[in-house]
Chain A
Amino acid sequence: MATAVSGDDVVSLSDAPTRPMNMIEAINDALDIMLERDPDVIVMGEDVGYFGGVFRATAGLQDKYGKTRVFDTPISECGIIGVAVGMGAYGLRPVPEIQFADYIYPGLDQLISEAARLRYRSAGEFIAPMTVRTPFGGGIFGGQTHSQSPEAIFTHVSGLKTIVPSTPHDAKGLLIAAIEDNDPCIFFEPKRIYNGPFDGYYDKPTKPWKDHPDAKVPEGYYSIPLGKARTVRKGEALTVLVYGTMVHVAEAVCREKGVDAEIIDLRTLVPLDIEAVEKSVEKTGRCLVIHEATRTSGFGAELVSLVQERCFYHLEAPVERVTGFDTPYPHSLEWAYFPGPIRIGEAIDKLLEA
């Protein structure tokens, strides 16, 4: 078996040779493979065709698959997602891109009330097997409208699957799984780590992915099952539940502090790998939940609640939560907003002292 980097849950991974890729390349590769394998896969979104997307995730695909399979759309998120619902009902597997997660709101009704409920309301007669890809999160000086992390909204919706990769390897395998899935998926791409992992120190240059083991991405087709977390590293002192960009920040903080943390990258928020969460918290007795999104009613609240309900008698300390603040993402003070090493470090100290 090649590359066990992302652990045990990778399926269909043969002895494929690997290639260093950044996250954008991995996503592009996943789309390329799925467009090739399945004539029903369609890629669409603002600027995704000729230009290949503002982040270049769809670069080259229109050239290869033609204008009726990879195309630009009007600037209408309601239209993009609504049209994708109809395409899914027809039998296609659309992969619409929403240019920034911040712009998904005009399409929310189509996603929440329509895509997510189509199977239920038609008792399985019509489905919307679509994967909405969208860059999310801050750390690129995007101001209020290019930085949000709205994942909690989607985890609150019955019938949607919410996916957040944290490495090129996972991005490819999870995106392929999402496209193959018959339920509507939303695939949040942590744009801060498109080009390289990020340890939380904004003033240090980003190391490119190519030097990172998780950037060794197998060639060809493989998928990672939705609903399976990845153990980033094993540890005994505490469990860190985390996803997206914050996986790398958490990892760096624990490494630097010399904390023997078990870091669990959730990878999918719905369905959640509750077994991995329970197993780890029962072992360590301490739990830290981290996300970049605003705090109140964030997905962290759900995680804390689950841990409290299911692991209470194993807990040695109250569960800690590190998040962004309950403000819009500020432009000039972006790094004051970001839940970086100081906020995480304090929470770890508090947990370990308790």
Chain B
Amino acid sequence: MAKQGEGGGYNRPRLALHVPEPKFRPGDTVDFSHIPVPEAGAQPRPDETCAASETNPLCTALVRVLGDDNKAHGPWDPRLSPDKLREILRDMALVRAFDERMYRGQRQGKTSFYMKCTGEEATSVAAAHALASDDMAFPSYRQQGVLISRGYPMVEMINQIYSNRGDKLKGRQLPIMYSSRGYSFFTISGNLATQLPQATGFAMASAIKGDSRIAAAWVGEGSTAEGDFHSALTFAAVYNAPVVFNVVNNQWAISSFSGFAGSERTTFAARAIGYGIAGLRVDGNDPLAVYAAERWAADRARSNNGPTLIEYFTYRAEGHSTSDDPSQYRSAQEREEWPLGDPIMRLKLHLIELGEWSEDQQKAMDQELAEAVKAATKEAEKNGILGHGMHHPFHTMFEDVFEELPWHLEEQADQAIRERKIKWPQQ
């Protein structure tokens, strides 16, 4: 017998392994013509109560509302009032202003780490606007837009990012890993995709208790490869759980393109078909389409018609985090050439087209938001920045491991406090 790995001596074809490769690498000229971008308004909108299988064609299509003419088209047009549209625009712009400032804060050494969601603002902001304010959000780490849309104070967000003495999470979590029960925002985990079964469990619990709250979870396309994603879909399908799964397909998982999560064979929305749940593939840079899809799925869940998997097709315009440099692994042109544009720009132009907004108003708003973020930053800095000593008292390190402090943690806390007196006698 041939030695393993030597190709064998049989009269059979040699097997070959396929390793996915993205279309463009640094220096390549980008051509996105392989991405079909259907006309806005072209996709049908089945009723929220339809059989899951009726959505099967929508799992490979792309639901779009805003056309190149900046007008809303077709049955998915959510027909929002100009006020609502301006609110969504404002929240997206605020998220972008916030990201800019926090990114700079990280570069200035005020915190260890930051993650922007530039280009993806609609997938959290418009989605949050479509949900009820007490529907429990199970975010990943790029959904700051949910908190901002729900009016969570920016100062609290920055306190968390700076891990200072004002941080409600007592300086324990990585920056941007917010948590707020009051705003129905589940604490973020650094372990990818773990929130999906949890969202399903929350939704199941809500159904068991005859409550009316649903759950909505967000996950990156790369993380759909985790077992948790599949466990969550199985449970949601089996128990018809009132949960919405949002897959934010921003094309990249750090330096790995979506092919490493299986995108060469099918879409992420199409995973819904195998589970027998509803699925929608949506232009994630179209705030109206995002709102409409999220609302459709939320209404479906709320009326006991079951879970929905939504793929938001979008693009991560910036680096993965402050720790990577995207020019090392992808063409710089990608961002420029992305065929679905920018969500803030698209909504702005739509409002202008409607005669409900102007470039001057946009400029004034951007100015105002930048000022507001700056003011919040100043306010938060009064509570300290990372590593500058204004943190929570040492004893808090040992709290909340258990409801009550057991003897071994009490002993270890004493040790930490003894060490503090030696290391930092002035404190």
B109 within 8 Å of A (CB atoms): no
B417 within 8 Å of A (CB atoms): no
Interface flags for B194-215 (1: CB within 8 Å of A; 0: not) read 1011111111111111000001
A123 within 8 Å of B (CB atoms): yes
Query: Most chain-A Cβ atoms within 10 A of its Cβ — which of B170, B189, B231, B232?
Result: B231
On whether the beta carbons of A84 and B201 are closer than 8 Å, the reply is: yes
For B401, list chain A residues within 8 Å (CB).
119-120, 158-159
Nearest-neighbor residue (CB-CB) of A273 within chain B: B407
From A78, A94, A274, give the contact of B407 (CB < 8 A): A274
Cα-based distance from A121 to B116 in the complex (angstroms):
22
B173 within 8 Å of A (CB atoms): yes
On whether the beta carbons of B187 and A86 are closer than 8 Å, the reply is: no
Interface residues of A in 35-90 (CB under 8 A from B): 42, 68-69, 73-74, 76, 78-79, 81-90
Q: A79-B197, A83-B235 are in contact. Are A159 and B402 (CB under 8 A)?
A: yes
B423 within 8 Å of A (CB atoms): no
From B181, B207, B208, give the contact of A126 (CB < 8 A): B181
Q: Which of A24-32, A109-117, A212-220, A318-326 contacts B (4 or more CB under 8 A)?
A: A109-117
A146 within 8 Å of B (CB atoms): no
On whether the beta carbons of A90 and B181 are closer than 8 Å, the reply is: no
On whether the beta carbons of B181 and A113 are closer than 8 Å, the reply is: no
B177 within 8 Å of A (CB atoms): yes
Interface flags for B220-239 (1: CB within 8 Å of A; 0: not) read 00000001100110110010
Cα-based distance from A127 to B198 in the complex (angstroms):
12
Of the four ranges (under 10, 10 to 19, 20 to 34, 35 or more), the interface on chain B belongs to: 35 or more
Cα-based distance from A204 to B230 in the complex (angstroms):
47
B69 within 8 Å of A (CB atoms): no
Cα-based distance from A126 to B182 in the complex (angstroms):
11
Query: Most chain-B Cβ atoms within 10 A of its Cβ — which of A73, A127, A271?
Result: A271
For A110, list chain B residues within 8 Å (CB).
194, 197, 228
B296 within 8 Å of A (CB atoms): no
On whether the beta carbons of B187 and A122 are closer than 8 Å, the reply is: yes
For A42, list chain B residues within 8 Å (CB).
205, 208
On whether the beta carbons of B403 and A119 are closer than 8 Å, the reply is: yes
Smallest CB–CB gap between A269 and chain B, Å? 12
For A113, list chain B residues within 8 Å (CB).
189, 191, 194
Nearest-neighbor residue (CB-CB) of A74 within chain B: B234
Smallest CB–CB gap between A182 and chain B, Å? 5
Smallest CB–CB gap between A47 and chain B, Å? 14
Nearest-neighbor residue (CB-CB) of A106 within chain B: B227
Smallest CB–CB gap between B121 and chain A, Å? 25
On whether the beta carbons of B186 and A78 are closer than 8 Å, the reply is: no
On whether the beta carbons of B231 and A124 are closer than 8 Å, the reply is: no
B6 within 8 Å of A (CB atoms): no
Cα-based distance from A225 to B197 in the complex (angstroms):
31
A161 within 8 Å of B (CB atoms): yes
On whether the beta carbons of A74 and B189 are closer than 8 Å, the reply is: no
Cα-based distance from A159 to B400 in the complex (angstroms):
8
Nearest-neighbor residue (CB-CB) of B231 within chain A: A79
On whether the beta carbons of B197 and A122 are closer than 8 Å, the reply is: no
B180 within 8 Å of A (CB atoms): yes
Smallest CB–CB gap between A115 and chain B, Å? 10
Nearest-neighbor residue (CB-CB) of A81 within chain B: B197
A91 within 8 Å of B (CB atoms): yes
On whether the beta carbons of A85 and B198 are closer than 8 Å, the reply is: yes
On whether the beta carbons of B181 and A122 are closer than 8 Å, the reply is: yes
A353 within 8 Å of B (CB atoms): no
Chain B residues engaging chain A, CB cutoff 8 angstroms = 136, 138, 168-170, 172-173, 177, 179-181, 186-187, 189, 191, 194, 196-209, 215, 227-228, 231-232, 234-235, 238, 399-403, 406-408
**9 pairs of residues in contact across A and B, judged by CB atoms under 8 Å:** A68-B207, A82-B232, A90-B206, A109-B228, A123-B168, A123-B172, A125-B181, A126-B187, A272-B408
Please give me the 4 A-B residue pairs with the lowest Cβ-Cβ distance, nearest first.
A86-B201, A82-B197, A79-B231, A83-B201
